[in-house]
Structure 1
Amino acid sequence: MPVRAGSAVLEGQLTVPAAARGMVLLTGDGAWQGIAIALHRAGLGTLAMDLWDSTEPAAYRNVFDIVLLAHRLGAACDWLHKYTALPVGCAATGTRAAAALEAAADHSTLRAVVSLSGRPGLARPSALVRVSVPVLLITGDLDTALIGRTRLAADWLRCPYRVAEMPGVADPAAGDALHHVPRLMTDWFTEHMAAPTEAFGVPARP
């Protein structure tokens, strides 16, 4: 399924279950298959895609260009909402998680964000303070450096958020931790995506 984001054309795999009640954009390096299956069973559709045009040479892809990635991610979320007329959330790994948070600050179509072993600290503080939708930050408790950076990023948030530390895990986007992650993510999206942003109230601290 091609999605235009500015001059780029992004390819993605779209799945819309019968009677879907929301859509989740999945992006970044990660094993999304099990997560996608869990989301589908919960009545949530998915669009799994990278944020690079297939014509862009790998050598010129700057995964740390958060502004560019946020622009493309936001455009993809806008397209997904227009195409399905459903609430849209985003789950992202690595630097794409920072892009998802930046996009959430500027795109009203994005209703919830999950960072899975992501780099939220690469998002600009000026964007983090403007995020108004619920944010779930999943890390492994063995990656102490990432936990520290994630908590620092979370301190800038003024929205409902949760930092979920997976015990005994370095990277929750890979390996045995993946059997815990789908339920955690599914619960977050089903709980938050359909509700009006104004109903979230006081930020939920971990």
Structure 2
Amino acid sequence: MANVFKTKPLPHGSLQLDGDLVIPSQAQGLVVFAHCSGSGRQSPRDQWVARALQRSQMATLQIDLLTEDESRDGRRLFDIDLLAHRMIETIRWTSLHPDLTDLRLGLFGASASAGAALVAAAARPDRVAAVVSRGGRPNLVMDHLEQVQAPTLLIVGGLDDEVLALNREAMRRLHVPRRLEVIPGAGHRFEEPGALGSVAIFASSWFSQYLCAARPT
């Protein structure tokens, strides 16, 4: 039986960001889902993936990196510096949480939030053990990719031609264990039958490999 916590985990000055934390019994790792909208953590697509990870004995933290007011400003949705800073602060919070500090940490992001996750991984190699990007926009953070030390999985829809080309370039710039999984017949939002199930399978396998293999001492 999972323990479910609703929390506001990230004090940022006078700001508090909404997040949902689920810790299964005997959790073997923690995956933080980065969302760059004011209610993105309620996305059915990422909720689906989160439930798959929970069944694999991984805790999940879904965090909205922007407030609802901020997310109405389209410029904020692609403000990688702001999103990455808040992601790094969220990582710091997990290190201080008594139920999470001993769990190896992975990051999951989509579109621009995947870029923020990669920047955060580069900034916190001591804490981040794996990254999964779903339809990510690595062109926003190409200069940071060589600094990423965490094994990285890039998942892209086969019909998402522009993003697929960007992710192939990212594969050339990453110098860590990495993989590009292309889901045939899927577009950018992975709404086609079976597409999201494939995302969940690939993400669960990647995080299980890198988060559950060892625990910090």
TM-score normalised to the size of structure 2?
Answer: 0.83
Matching residue within 58, 71, 79 for 2:72: 58
Name the SS for the 1:11 alignment partner. Answer: strand
- Kindly indicate whether residue 18 of structure 2 is the aligned counterpart of residue 11 of structure 1: yes
State the Cα deviation string for residues 34-73 of structure 1 (Å, max 9, x = none): 2111111110010112101356462375111111111111
State the Cα deviation string for residues 145-193 of structure 1 (Å, max 9, x = none): 1111111122111111101100111125434201111111000001012
Note closer, same or farther for the CA distance 1:168–1:10 as it changes in structure 2 (3 Å cut): same
Which residue of the partner structure matches residue 22 of structure 1?
Answer: 29
Contact 1:12–1:48 (Cα < 8 Å) also in 2: yes
Deviation at 1:75, TM superposition (A): 1.2
Which residue of the partner structure matches residue 86 of structure 2?
Answer: 72
Distance 2:171 2:82 in 1: 22
Please report the RMSD computed on the Cα atoms of aligned residues, expressed in angstroms: 1.9
Name the SS for the 1:12 alignment partner. Answer: strand
Name the SS for the 1:89 alignment partner. Answer: strand
Which residue of the partner structure matches residue 112 of structure 2?
Answer: 95
Which residue of the partner structure matches residue 160 of structure 2?
Answer: 143
Distance 1:54 1:93 in 2: 18
Contact 1:22–1:88 (Cα < 8 Å) also in 2: yes
Which residue of the partner structure matches residue 60 of structure 2?
Answer: 46
Aligned length: 195
Which residue of the partner structure matches residue 3 of structure 2?
Answer: none
Distance 2:16 2:69 in 1: 9
Matching residue within 123, 130, 151 for 2:147: 130
Runs of 4+ residues deviating >6 angstroms: none
State the Cα deviation string for residues 16-50 of structure 1 (Å, max 9, x = none): 00010111111235511221111111100101121
Contact 1:40–1:46 (Cα < 8 Å) also in 2: yes
Structure 2's unaligned 5+ residue stretches are: 1-6
Contact 1:93–1:173 (Cα < 8 Å) also in 2: no
Deviation at 1:82, TM superposition (A): 2.6
- Kindly indicate whether residue 121 of structure 2 is the aligned counterpart of residue 115 of structure 1: no
Which residue of the partner structure matches residue 204 of structure 2?
Answer: 186
Name the SS for the 1:174 alignment partner. Answer: coil
Structure 1's unaligned 5+ residue stretches are: 197-206
Distance 1:160 1:81 in 2: 24
Matching residue within 154, 164, 171 for 2:171: 154
